[in-house]
Structure 1
């Protein structure tokens, strides 16, 4: 659209003087020196006012989606007794887990589960950061959530099927499901972090806090099953049914969220020269589909590498100790026939307390926002967490063959776990909050997806180191 813009100052002359001069100029046949510039105005005619998050609906849904990203891992780990029952030694008692010693399948399952989870998750988090702008966000989010639901339904059905006559096949099928689950979870997590990077820090906090809340939920479920004395198959069936319900709720909630004006506004392409497109009742955003913009990965990486390395280092140190070592730390009073020392100490301290303070740390980062814009300082703080490695190794982790037990106090160990979880949650969240602020608006989705890749690689490297740490004890 072209406009004729009169550039004469409005108060240069009075209106009557201007009229007489223009009339005289026309009557005398002369030309009037009136500078008129023809321009093409590419700006939107009206500035769009940011919609409100009515009833905090988007915040709640992002919380739920955050829980969903790690739900497969939490529920598979929590159902350890179920896997041991399914893979038990059939030459002995059919109802007692591990009777007469672990079978070969039981002994190798945890190691295979770790490999089947970590490798595809890390690989697809990296691929997601490289290819996310070429695939529609809607396809990635809805497709990955739907895939996870289908795989969990299959897993739930297998609980009620007698697999004793085909244990080996069940073992392979389960690992295939784990691989596919982690591929879908990586796509979901990468897409979610890329999506929430377009929103304010409050919504980033909702996602990462939701992840920690998933750990609390799984720990409480484990403790509750211990209190009720439920069988391995009953507990697993309840776990997986709850997971199915939460996953279905997350998918439904996400589809509702995409129709909200608040959500669509934040997905608008806000790069210079782009305009806003409207349809009745909604804002259409080209960024919700595949982007055709050229992405400079090295340019983005040069801006966020300190934050990414900090995220990697935080989870590398955490996973080196948790849960491979923390699950081995038992009460120094174990064996005195007190339920707290013999039954509840590890699930409460090693899982529930860690997850709770991990959650508190993530929430705290959402309020403090410190240090803001100082990637090198975040990296330094993450490096300081290496002190937790010798501290936890010197606690009462059993069995041990090389290192002595130096920290005998249960209270001191609990304090170490509190600080360990608190610092992990705080640094994990604050780095993700800072990244969208150090890149351009058009780079936020890719930058946040890269941070998810750093997180995934940190988990993988930490898990691998954790296996070696067990040998050091």
Structure 2
């Protein structure tokens, strides 16, 4: 193989259309696109085609959309806080105090998400390659769609007389939705790891864009203040529709020539005279990725991915949501109503999104995993700095930073660094493993991400008590 064919540029799409004619389709060797055991499809001649163009950036857009919808159900379920307060209100009296279930609902939702998500991200990383990509993606999205539809139906059902049973159904639904979401996310990262790095950026940026979308929806709800059941119904309808569209888009994408090219690692060429596709074959040795081997190669990037999210979730949003504007109580809408949702949610998600975009554009530092790890360790400083902002109520620590400007600056730094470092680690990890190990490497990185989220969430409980 020539140096040009081995270069990264040869793996990038060229300008052109990813379309095959009927004659080309007849000669295309597709060896079970859904067979996860196939690693490399070789070519028997020296003239190899460059990767086909992603026509109209269709595959890129679908990866973006799938990244957003892979966690969209969870975003909407958590956003519907007023709906859960309404569903579990005290229906036997006129008291205004929150019931124990109302006070604990957000924590219950968080725990019923973190544990199954982490477990299934790890399971997917270890044994996911044994199942076809199509079955993992489609099954997980179908499960999420059906359960989101069920959740939507319950909005219109009076559950006042059987709140305990409804609580059990809700928690069970959240557990299964997040398990399916973990499989979808892990598989999606695994697929994107086999494409050029910009497709991984599309997935992780799509997830951040989902956070922006959710934050904007919350601000709109605050502005118009519809009844809690109506706002939840809108959230869940949007979520169900987006998931259904995701299934359709994936089914279309998996049949595109570009998708098959990267997933099958096909090396093709056509004769100028006959446009004959190169005869392809599968090597006699089928390579199975080894979890231990892949982990040994990417563990530093995995550590960075874990620490980035553990640091972020330790302080955000459990502590940062308690930060009040220094001018709260003066009768201004910005300070009294919009400060927390805009700064804590919209600003953070926007900064996170920009960080992921910048990482995809610059892709630096590359081949320096310990530099990335050092930067993630230094980022721990955000925890004490944000904990010393104007959080209320507080019991032990003093307020060192009263200024809104300082809090906004720290939140911006936390957000951009989260997106940048998380994406850099996710992009670089698949690049240091062999071709047949890329999917497992990306899935392992997703598992590190999940463990970081769960670990950070647990630390956040301690920080809230400490403050």
Q: Distance in 1 between matches of 2:71 and 2:327?
A: 34
Which residue of the partner structure matches residue 469 of structure 1? 463
Q: Distance in 2 between matches of 1:340 and 1:174?
A: 34
Which residue of the partner structure matches residue 174 of structure 1? 170
> What pairs up with 1:53-452 in 2 under 5 angstroms?
53-93=54-94, 99-269=95-265, 293-452=287-446
TM-score by length of 1: 0.85
Give the secondary structure class of the aligned counterpart of 2:264.
coil
Does the 8 A contact of 1:269 with 1:442 survive in 2? no
Give the secondary structure class of the aligned counterpart of 2:317.
coil
Q: Between Structure 1 and Structure 2, whose CA radius of gyration is higher? A: 1
Which residue of the partner structure matches residue 273 of structure 2? none
Is the alpha carbon distance of 1:185 and 1:140 closer, same or farther for their aligned partners in structure 2, counting shifts above 3 Å?
same
The number of aligned residues is: 417
Listed as ranges, the gaps of 5+ residues in structure 1 are: 1-41, 94-98
Q: Distance in 1 between matches of 2:76 and 2:404?
A: 28
Give the secondary structure class of the aligned counterpart of 1:404.
coil
Q: Distance in 2 between matches of 1:275 and 1:130?
A: 31
Is the alpha carbon distance of 1:244 and 1:203 closer, same or farther for their aligned partners in structure 2, counting shifts above 3 Å?
same
**CA displacement at 1:275 relative to structure 2:** 9.4
Q: Higher relative contact order at CA 8 Å, sep ≥6: structure 1 or structure 2?
A: 2
Q: Distance in 1 between matches of 2:180 and 2:110?
A: 16
**CA displacement at 1:299 relative to structure 2:** 1.1
Does the 8 A contact of 2:48 with 2:268 survive in 1? no
Which residue of the partner structure matches residue 44 of structure 2? 44
Q: Distance in 1 between matches of 2:81 and 2:131?
A: 36
Does the 8 A contact of 1:264 with 1:285 survive in 2? no
Does the 8 A contact of 1:261 with 1:283 survive in 2? no
Q: Distance in 2 between matches of 1:257 and 1:373?
A: 31
Q: Distance in 2 between matches of 1:217 and 1:464?
A: 26
Which residue of the partner structure matches residue 15 of structure 1? none
Q: Distance in 1 between matches of 2:123 and 2:216?
A: 34
1:321-368 residue CA offsets vs partner (Å, 9 max, x unmatched): 111001111111111111111111100000000000000000000011
Which residue of the partner structure matches residue 14 of structure 1? none
Listed as ranges, the gaps of 5+ residues in structure 2 are: 1-41, 270-275
**CA displacement at 1:248 relative to structure 2:** 1.1
1:98-120 residue CA offsets vs partner (Å, 9 max, x unmatched): x5211121122122111110000
CA RMSD of aligned residues (A): 2.1
Which residue of the partner structure matches residue 30 of structure 2? none
Q: Distance in 1 between matches of 2:146 and 2:277?
A: 31
Does the 8 A contact of 2:304 with 2:376 survive in 1? yes
Does the 8 A contact of 1:321 with 1:389 survive in 2? yes
**CA displacement at 1:295 relative to structure 2:** 2.2
TM-score by length of 2: 0.86
